[in-house]
Structures are given as C-alpha cells and as structure tokens.
Amino acid sequence: MKKLTTAMRQFRESTEIPSFEKNIEFLFAKLCGIFFHTSLDSKDSRNLAQNLAQNPARAQNLTNPTQNTFNPAFPRLFKLFRVCFIILVDCILAFAFCAPLYGLHLFESVFGREIPLFLGSILGVLSIYVYLRMPKSRRFGVGFFVGIFCFYWVGLSFRFIGLSALVPIVSIAVALIYGVIFWFIAFCECLVVRLLGLLLLGFIAPFGFDWLNVQSFLAYSYFDVDFLHFTLLVCALYCFIAFTRARLIIGALCLIFALDFKTFRESSVPKEFENIALVSTNVPQEFKWSAQKMQEIVIENFAHIYEAKNNDKRVVVLPENAFPLSLEADLKNYPSFYELLLNLSKEITIITGALSVRDSQYYNSLFVFADSQVLRVDKVVLAPFGEYVPLPAFVKKAFPLLEELEFSRGKDFGDISLLGYEFRVGICYEATDRALYRDYPRYVLAISNNAWFYPSIEPTLQKMLLKYYARRFDSVILHAANGSESFIITP
C-alpha cells in the first residue's frame, strides 16, 4: 500500500501542470510597486495582507527604503486592493474559459454569421488551456464567475410569473453551485485530475441542468468533439505547457489526431428540405399569454402558414408555443381556427408548438397537422426554472404559484415522418439533452421559445450545444424558434 501511494504521488508530481499562480503573484507585486511604491517579490505579495495585519513593522521592511510611503491606513487599503485584484483575476480567467461562447455570440450578433472555424479552434484551445493552468487556489472564484458568465440568464423566466425579485437570487445561487463544482473537480493541478474534471463537467447537472459541457466549446472548431479526440487535445496542450523536446513531438501528434477532418468539407442536407419553411417569430414573452394579444398572435401564425404555402413549401414549422393556447381544448372553442388548420393541412403540413391539457395536467407539446389529421408529441425533458422549479419542497410551499406553473412530462421521445424522412422531435431544452440522441437519430426537428430568457446569451449557448450534438451523433437538426433565429445545423 505504501509503494502504491508513493507511486501515485510520483505520478502526480511528474504530470503536474505549471499553473498561473506565479504569474498572478508577479503581476500583483508589480502593481503594488506602482500603487504602493513597494518593492516585493511574488512570494511576499501572496501573504503580505496577513503580515500587514499581524506585524506592521514588517510593512516598513517591505516598503521601498528610498520612499517613506507607509502610513497607518496602508494595511486596510492593501487588503482591499488584494481582494479586488483576486476578484478581477478570477473574473478574467472565467471569461477566458467562456471565450468560445462569447466569440460565437459576438459574430452572430454583430456580423450576422457563425464564427470562423479557425477562430473557434483558437478560442476552444484557450478555454482548455486556462482551465489546465488555473491555480487550484482560484478554482472556487473562477467557477463562480463561469456560472455568472454562462448562466446569469437562468432566473429571467421568473420575471413573467411575478417573481422578479428571485432573478438575482437564482443567478447567484447557480454561480455559487458552479463555484463549489469547480472547487471539487479542480483540487489538484495534475493532468489526470484536470482532464477528468473537464470530462465530468458535461455530466454534472445541478438541478438537472447540464449545459456546461466543455466539449461543446469545440463545436465550431476543427477539432472533434468526442471523448477520445477531446482527451488527445488536452494531452497535446499539457505537452506544450510542460515543454520538453520529446513532449513537443508527442503534443504535435496528439494535436493532429485530435482534428476532425470532416470539418474541412462542407456538409449537405437532402434537397427535399428546401420544401420546409422554418419560421422565426419575435413575440415578447410578456405578450405571449395576454388575452388581448392572442388574436393578433394567431393571425400572425396563419400569415406565416399562408406565406409558406404561397411559396410552394410542403411543410411549415412554427416555434414552441406559437399558439398561446391549448390546441386540443381552446381551438375547439374557436372552430373556425381549428377547421382552418385542418383544411390547410390538406395542402401543406403544419407543425407548431402549443399547450396540451389532459386530466387537468398541462403538457408542452408539438402538433402535426397533415392531411386533416392531427398528431401530438409531448415534451419529455422539462427545462429547469422554465417548466419545473428544481427547488426544495419547502421553497415551493412558500410560493404556491411555482407548483401551479409546473408542466407534466411526456412518456417517451416521439418521431414524426416528413417528406419521407424520420425526425426525432425535441422541444426546446430537451433538444440539448443527450438522452434525445441516444440512438443516433439522423434527423432532429427542434422548436424553441427563447423569449423566456430575452435578452441574454441563452440562444447562443443553445445553438452551440445543438451544433455539438449534431457533430457528436451525426445528426442534422432543423430548429424553429421564437425570440431568436431559426436555422439548420449539420454535423
């Protein structure tokens, strides 16, 4: 047992990754020299805040002897400066870790296009590089700010149920949870622990929410996104960080083998998909369930259907909850609307999201109107904080409205047939759940309502995850959305 422990320690030490710790303390020492006129080395700067509080005389020794700048207020000011510096460092490291997400968001919002693969590759490598070299002393702070940068939008849905006060509370709570997750998975600065941490992030799902998948950061890159190629990329970066001539050669080989050569050629979709109209709508969530706006929304939906029909499309796909009512109940109270959908379905297949009510249970569903027949598929994987509230029972009892607004789950994922092709149905959040892709569906039809989280980075994160699953499971994904653009994603 002793030999095994010794061997494990030696292996850990031999694969230890040089962190940014010395670089951070060197920068802090330089900043102290600028703002406090002190001449410090990195080791002194790391513990100076405690030393100043316990031994003011040491401060006199650490102060540049050529300048008499020490005063009684210096220790407290120095502590504050140290805290602000560390917070800023954690924030910068976290933002660098999230760089692939914000790079994609920048290109789509500013330039109206996807990020170039070469730049996506650089940002993906940067993200992994920052995590590998992140000092273990900084892991909680970095994890906290990663939670902020990636998931600050999670609580925004509470705005529409009269609980706006919970928005910052939920966002901070989620950030704290990711701080704890990083604290556990990045406790060591050796290769194996950091690699396992990166791989585990995609499987750790606080509140059932598994959107922090580092492999998805490579979705818009030249690198493959499966476990093997991701591991090769991490090993390549380790070899470049812990530089020796032999490791440089090994790292270069790992880097080459981590590439996905399919990304160097264009993907295509069946020509028949040109006959499918993916509709983008921009109905604000505050108007979605407004009785005054219902007729206006319904009329707009029919306008999209007629437009697709007049353009000789064979299928039109409307977003999630495009009709702000229960198609099975409410539309039958408006027989003219219901009959119109059935009649139009003789000429064009109509796919739309809407509520479904059965036995006093509410379901988030997709409806297919085709040849005067109606098919329904219920959502299986519900969105945390959007369709169910993953909070303890005592919290829900304090806010009874939360339980009333929760949806019921469907029994299993559904498939539909369109233009001779089988499509797996994914309604919003479940389209980014790996369970939907467990049997490698070739084609996926996804509908979303991103207005719940507008304005935020959520649609970009969703698109990055969809691209990841498209590449990971070799699926073509057709996505129609409200509050963001509709698109087709290829592997």
Catalytic residue positions, numbered: 320, 379, 428
List the alpha helices (DSSP H) in 56-164. 56-62, 74-97, 99-106, 117-133, 139-151
Spatial CA neighbour of 354 closest among 329, 320, 316: 320
Under a CB-based contact definition with an 8 Å cutoff, are residues 410 and 422 in contact? no
Give CA–CA dist 61/39, Å, rounded: 10
DSSP string, 342-385: HHHTTTSEEEEEEEEEETTEEEEEEEEEETTEEEEEE--SPPBT
324: CB partners within 8 A, 6+ apart? 288, 289, 290, 293, 294, 297, 354
> CA distances (Å), 84 to each of 28, 53, 88, 400, in order?
11, 17, 6, 40
How would you class 54 by CB atoms within 10 Å of its CB: exposed for 0-12, middle for 13-18, buried for 19 or more? exposed
Spatial CA neighbour of 16 closest among 97, 129, 133, 94: 133
| Site of tokens 């906290």 | 144
**Residue 214: CB atoms within 10 Å:** 21
Spatial CA neighbour of 326 closest among 361, 350, 282, 284: 361
DSSP string, 44-68: HHHHHHHHHHH-HHHHHHHB-TT--
Under a CB-based contact definition with an 8 Å cutoff, are residues 480 and 279 in contact? yes
Give CA–CA dist 179/19, Å, rounded: 19
What 3-state DSSP class applies to 319?
Answer: coil
Interior angle at CA 52, CA 51 and CA 54, nearest 5: 65
Give CA–CA dist 415/397, Å, rounded: 37
> For the chain, first and last CA: distance in Å?
48
Encoding tokens for residue 364?
Answer: 């988030």
Give CA–CA dist 269/119, Å, rounded: 25
**Residue 453: CB atoms within 10 Å:** 25
Encoding tokens for residue 414?
Answer: 């559904």
Give CA–CA dist 477/491, Å, rounded: 9
